[in-house]
Chains A and B, each alone.
Chain A
């Protein structure tokens, strides 16, 4: 058994356990140390994961766990997201009750995401998703002295449990008709399977579960409430890591397990994507709470990503992954600004952001980069991602009237997005009335997190080629067979296959 493939996952879980235990010996006055240890450990792991991403593609546990281009690509982004959130949390070490547990839970959720990125089997996919979701039930309701946090936690718990129920029922139907839960084994038998209504129902119910994770229509209801109620730190991780894990798994199911089905029913993704964009964009317009606004923005962005699936091509899949990479940095950049303002002002109303440019230029810059990138203005990551996705969809014009319709909706979404994203920025730079102009202090660790997030957003926007190539290889790698019997292939063979 090739245990070395799981090194990053095992070390992340151990780091979480270590932080949980260290709390016993570290005095309450120096809690910050825990966050610093967790962040440093994760930083080392990130360097290790990037360094070792290329060699050692292969499968472990009988084809259940797979290391390939997609898992390497996704894990890098998950680790960065975890690192930025942990760095950001250090400032709140003294205000979060149970800080050690908070750090440990972030690391456990991250472990779930890492396993999700490598899941090559419906059972492992379900368990990894549950690990993420159950951790987030707790992280969302972490501020238990705040009623809104508890309310968000209960809402997330009930709807999440319902979605899990759908998914596990779907997996049962898939197993019943395919007699296997392995993605690769399903893909070898897919031509016959996708004619079976039981199998199709199973896939559909699984998509319900994934649709909940990524907040796609019609399973998006929870997102605004949970985003608003949860602590800003949790929201930032929920909007990036948890959502991205859902998309990575969707990519695996759509492009590895049943690519023929995805190609045949691509217009379903286009339709759902269009409705999701419309819902997210239009509902975001009247929002005053910035966290809630980010919730609707997250729904709209899920719509764009689904359009990429609708293209059902190598270009569409690569665009989805490239968009996702940029999206993680973008949202984190925006949330660093939001987190600092919310923890300082105890409010996330747009008026709390008034005059932020003069109060804290650092935070204003971070928020600006995030929101401008989300709005899709060049040269940032958000622009590049949207461009790639629209390009991939536009190629399909003529195959179905749905394509033109979804393109129109996508452009409309961008225009509406400009309005509500820039509305927040107007308050930051040109406020109507400012009551408080005292500077907001920004600590070194927050600045470090900010530099990571902003640098990522700008770099992916200015030099998109590297990200796009990585995404392209990741999607191309999904088409290559991964049977349990195949021994770990040398890296050169995989890269050649990808080309």
Chain B
């Protein structure tokens, strides 16, 4: 009888694969917006996997930054560029070739890593580093100065965005 967390893992992993497949090769729709939406679902499924690994902070960032901010940026670009041409285009031989090579290399790396991997129990202590609490502590002690300097960076970005997009300039 598998444990509940195992069931959850298979559930999230299956969903991630399923949505990932629909994102790149949806048989029903070739619209980029639909693909982007399936990418959001893939990312959310991956966030579930992170939670199972007890990396709660990473899971939250995954949802907030990737599913939230980055995807909004994606959608903006898709909507600003007219992609009608892309929807009609079929696969090109070059694209397929590059894709196969890329998948092959990554699959090889993955296989190598899996074969080298040691059992879960021996590495589980390392996982605590990515947890919210130690991350927060290190961010506000050792890396306090860069963290504070980032606030100035964000202010600059804000000033810049307002200046460059403001309608009327006095």
Contact status B149-A128, CB under 8 Å: yes
Contact status A123-B143, CB under 8 Å: yes
- B144 interfacial contact with A, CB 8 Å: yes
Chain B, range 131-147, C-beta contacts under 8 Å to A: 141-146
Contact digits for B139-160, partner A, Cβ 8 Å, 1 yes 0 no: 0011111100110110111011
Contact status B150-A127, CB under 8 Å: yes
**Chain B facing A: main interface SS:** helix
Contact status A131-B145, CB under 8 Å: no
Chain A, range 123-138, C-beta contacts under 8 Å to B: 123-124, 126-128, 130-131, 134-135, 137-138
Known contacts A62-B141, A65-B145, A123-B146; A97/B156 CB under 8 A: no
* Alpha-carbon distance between A116 and B54 when the two chains are bound, in angstroms: 36
* Alpha-carbon distance between A75 and B37 when the two chains are bound, in angstroms: 49
- A101 interfacial contact with B, CB 8 Å: yes
Q: Which residues of A contact B142 (CB under 8 A)?
A: 62, 64
* Alpha-carbon distance between A483 and B113 when the two chains are bound, in angstroms: 37
* Alpha-carbon distance between A452 and B131 when the two chains are bound, in angstroms: 53
- B98 interfacial contact with A, CB 8 Å: no
Contact status A108-B156, CB under 8 Å: yes
Q: Which residues of A contact B149 (CB under 8 A)?
A: 115, 124, 127-128, 131
Q: Which residues of B contact A20 (CB under 8 A)?
A: 159
Interface locus among B56-64, B82-90, B118-126, B162-170: B162-170
Chain B nearest Cβ from A17, distance in angstroms: 8
- A49 interfacial contact with B, CB 8 Å: no
- A69 interfacial contact with B, CB 8 Å: no
Q: Which residues of B contact A230 (CB under 8 A)?
A: none
Nearest B-chain residue to A121, judged by Cβ: B146
Quick one: which of A104, A124, A138 contacts B145, CB cutoff 8 A? A124
Nearest A-chain residue to B161, judged by Cβ: A138
- A388 interfacial contact with B, CB 8 Å: no
Known contacts A130-B153, A138-B159; A64/B146 CB under 8 A: yes
Contact status A127-B153, CB under 8 Å: yes
Chain A nearest Cβ from B129, distance in angstroms: 11
Nearest A-chain residue to B143, judged by Cβ: A123
- A344 interfacial contact with B, CB 8 Å: no
Q: Which residues of B contact A141 (CB under 8 A)?
A: 164
Contact digits for A106-124, partner B, Cβ 8 Å, 1 yes 0 no: 0010010001000001011
Nearest B-chain residue to A145, judged by Cβ: B169
Q: Which residues of A contact B163 (CB under 8 A)?
A: 98, 101, 138, 142
Nearest B-chain residue to A102, judged by Cβ: B163
Chain B nearest Cβ from A50, distance in angstroms: 24
Contact status A131-B169, CB under 8 Å: no
Contact status B160-A137, CB under 8 Å: yes
* Alpha-carbon distance between A126 and B143 when the two chains are bound, in angstroms: 12
User: For this complex, into which size category does the number of interface residues on chain A fall?
Assistant: 20 to 34
* Alpha-carbon distance between A237 and B150 when the two chains are bound, in angstroms: 22
- A105 interfacial contact with B, CB 8 Å: yes
Chain B nearest Cβ from A104, distance in angstroms: 7
* Alpha-carbon distance between A127 and B150 when the two chains are bound, in angstroms: 7
- A25 interfacial contact with B, CB 8 Å: no
* Alpha-carbon distance between A101 and B152 when the two chains are bound, in angstroms: 14
* Alpha-carbon distance between A233 and B153 when the two chains are bound, in angstroms: 21
Q: Which residues of A contact B150 (CB under 8 A)?
A: 127
Chain B nearest Cβ from A213, distance in angstroms: 16
* Alpha-carbon distance between A62 and B147 when the two chains are bound, in angstroms: 14
Contact status B153-A131, CB under 8 Å: yes
Q: Which residues of A contact B146 (CB under 8 A)?
A: 64, 121, 123-124, 126-127
Quick one: which of A13, A28, A105, A126 contacts B170, CB cutoff 8 A? A28
* Alpha-carbon distance between A108 and B155 when the two chains are bound, in angstroms: 10
- A146 interfacial contact with B, CB 8 Å: no
Chain A nearest Cβ from B24, distance in angstroms: 23
Chain B nearest Cβ from A253, distance in angstroms: 16
Contact status A138-B152, CB under 8 Å: no
Q: Which residues of B contact A131 (CB under 8 A)?
A: 149, 152-153, 156
Contact status A105-B156, CB under 8 Å: yes
Contact status B143-A111, CB under 8 Å: no
Quick one: which of B145, B155, B159 contacts A61, CB cutoff 8 A? B145
Quick one: which of B141, B144, B157, B164 contacts A134, CB cutoff 8 A? B157
Quick one: which of B143, B152, B170 contacts A108, CB cutoff 8 A? B152
Quick one: which of B141, B152, B170 contacts A111, CB cutoff 8 A? B152
Q: Which residues of A contact B144 (CB under 8 A)?
A: 61
Nearest B-chain residue to A6, judged by Cβ: B145
Chain A nearest Cβ from B70, distance in angstroms: 14
Chain B nearest Cβ from A377, distance in angstroms: 39
* Alpha-carbon distance between A137 and B160 when the two chains are bound, in angstroms: 8
Contact status A101-B145, CB under 8 Å: no
* Alpha-carbon distance between A142 and B143 when the two chains are bound, in angstroms: 32
Contact status B159-A134, CB under 8 Å: no
Nearest B-chain residue to A97, judged by Cβ: B169
Q: Which residues of B contact A265 (CB under 8 A)?
A: none
Residues of chain B at the chain A interface (Cβ within 8 Å): 141-146, 149-150, 152-153, 155-157, 159-160, 163-164, 169-170
Some 15 contacts from A to B, beta carbons below 8 A apart, are A61-B145, A64-B146, A123-B143, A123-B146, A124-B146, A126-B146, A127-B153, A130-B153, A131-B149, A131-B153, A134-B153, A138-B160, A141-B164, A142-B163, A144-B164
8 nearest A-B pairs in the assembled complex, by CB-CB distance: A138-B160, A97-B169, A127-B146, A61-B145, A124-B146, A131-B153, A123-B146, A127-B149
Starting from the known contacts A124-B146, A127-B150, 10 additional A-B residue pairs (CB-CB under 8 Å) come to A20-B159, A62-B141, A64-B142, A65-B145, A111-B152, A121-B146, A124-B145, A130-B153, A131-B156, A137-B160
